[in-house]
Amino acid sequence: MPTSRLRDVAERAGVSIRTVSNVVNGYAPVAEKTRLRVEAAVAELGYRPNLLARNLKRGRSGVLALVVPELDVPYFAELARAVIMQARARGYTVVIDQTDGEPGREREMVMEGSRGALFDGVILSPLSLSQAELAERDSRVPLVLLGERIADGGFDHVAIDNVLAARQATEHLFSLGRRRVAALGDQPYETGETAQLRTRGYRLAHEAAGRPVDESLIVARPRFHRSDGAEAMRDLLRHPDGPPDAVFCYNDLLALGALRTLLSQGFRVPDDVAVIGFDDIEDGRYHTPSLSTVAPDKHQIAQLAVERLVARLDDSDDSPSELWAAHRLEARESTMGFTAARNPAP
């Protein structure tokens, strides 16, 4: 069965191509009788508009690109899900590209513009592209930055208040009586803005509590996978002053890795060492102990990003805006301990 075109439907219904187009798109006024005839023909032939042609004509593709480092990192998977839902609600399709942190791919997707009109806008969670590089972008295609970057005003930008969130996480640990709180995941270089914000929050918490920061408890990691957390925790356990009594990890994967190291070496969590993460991935809830974490409102992040992007498609000379999504602290067993006899499963 060869795909039928507008022309075939027109022939069958005995009307002009244009009229069929009008019916299909609900554009111009069409007489009831004609409409029914056309609709019948559409149904009989199983006509489906060729979106390629439509988009070419309209100059829009109806496709948004979501560019993330790795799709199998739960945070990005959960975010992707939310973005897809938001986009769908507005009639857009989403293509997802993974950059694997390769600057080349990230640049290709974002800088080279539009992949030839294949998508109308880009939502980017940057990993390797620096602000400086981004600034050179010739913005044929609207771009919304996701995740957290120090704003330079050049782009639309959706983020949570990382400084505050990190401060709250640290203060949560303080409030439980922890004295030596390690920070795991600092990235003291150009593309590590998010991590730096969290470190700032960590420092602020110390300052507010009148405690000095032990610089040797701030551990840098270029990547945030479980294995990195496990490894970093092993290092921390060899600290000359002994293990810290709490660890604030800059994402949940690091925290789960750290958890694994602690438990497998016989440490009790949280009794010996309390652990808190960041991102609130679903998995953390099912570990034992369940993982305390900072929970960014992913749904809201996706909503703000897609909304902003779609708005920009219609109205490109609006000035870039800074959008803030909510977050909250989820205190679970890895900091609070096991209540009562035993916790019921969630």
Partner DNA sequence: TACACTGTATGCAACGTTGCAAGAGAGTAG
Partner DNA sequence: CTACTCTCTTGCAACGTTGCATACAGTGTA
Identify the burial level of 135 via C-beta atoms within 10 angstroms of its C-beta, where 0-12 means exposed, 13-18 middle and 19 or more buried.
exposed
Separation between Cα atoms, residue 187 and residue 317, nearest integer Å: 34
Q: Is 299 helix (H, G, I), strand (E, B) or coil?
A: helix
**Identified binder of a second copy from the candidate list 30, 41, 80, 124, rule CB under 8 A:** 80
Shortest distance (Å) from residue 161 CB to DNA: 42
CB 148 within 8 A of CB 162: yes
Identify the burial level of 110 via C-beta atoms within 10 angstroms of its C-beta, where 0-12 means exposed, 13-18 middle and 19 or more buried.
buried
Task: For residue 265, state whether it binds DNA (rule: CB under 7 A).
Answer: no
- Number of amino acids touching a second copy (CB under 8 A): 67
Task: For residue 279, state whether it binds a second copy (rule: CB under 8 A).
Answer: no
Task: For residue 287, state whether it binds a second copy (rule: CB under 8 A).
Answer: yes
Task: For residue 238, state whether it binds DNA (rule: CB under 7 A).
Answer: no
Separation between Cα atoms, residue 328 and residue 346, nearest integer Å: 19
Task: For residue 63, state whether it binds a second copy (rule: CB under 8 A).
Answer: yes
Task: For residue 240, state whether it binds a second copy (rule: CB under 8 A).
Answer: no
Interaction with DNA in 41-60: which residues (CB under 7 A)? Answer: 47, 49-50, 53-54, 56-59
| Residue 35 or 115 with smaller CB distance to a second copy | 115
Which phi and psi (to 5°) does residue 130 adopt? Answer: -90, 165
**Identified binder of a second copy from the candidate list 52, 153, 314, 317, rule CB under 8 A:** 52
Shortest distance (Å) from residue 234 CB to a second copy: 7
Task: For residue 140, state whether it binds a second copy (rule: CB under 8 A).
Answer: yes
Separation between Cα atoms, residue 143 and residue 131, nearest integer Å: 13
User: Which residue pairs from 2-10 have beta carbons closer than 8 angstroms and sit at least 24 positions apart in sequence?
Assistant: 3/48, 3/50, 4/45, 4/46, 4/47, 5/47, 5/50, 6/47, 6/49, 8/45, 8/47, 9/38, 9/41, 9/42, 9/45, 9/47
For binding to a second copy (CB under 8 A), which residues are involved? Answer: 1, 3, 46, 48-56, 61, 63, 70-72, 74, 77-78, 80-81, 84-85, 93-98, 112-118, 138, 140, 226-227, 230, 233-234, 256-257, 259-261, 263-266, 282-283, 285-288, 290, 338, 341-346
For binding to DNA (CB under 7 A), which residues are involved? Answer: 3, 5-7, 15-19, 21-22, 24-25, 27-31, 33-35, 47, 49-50, 53-54, 56-59
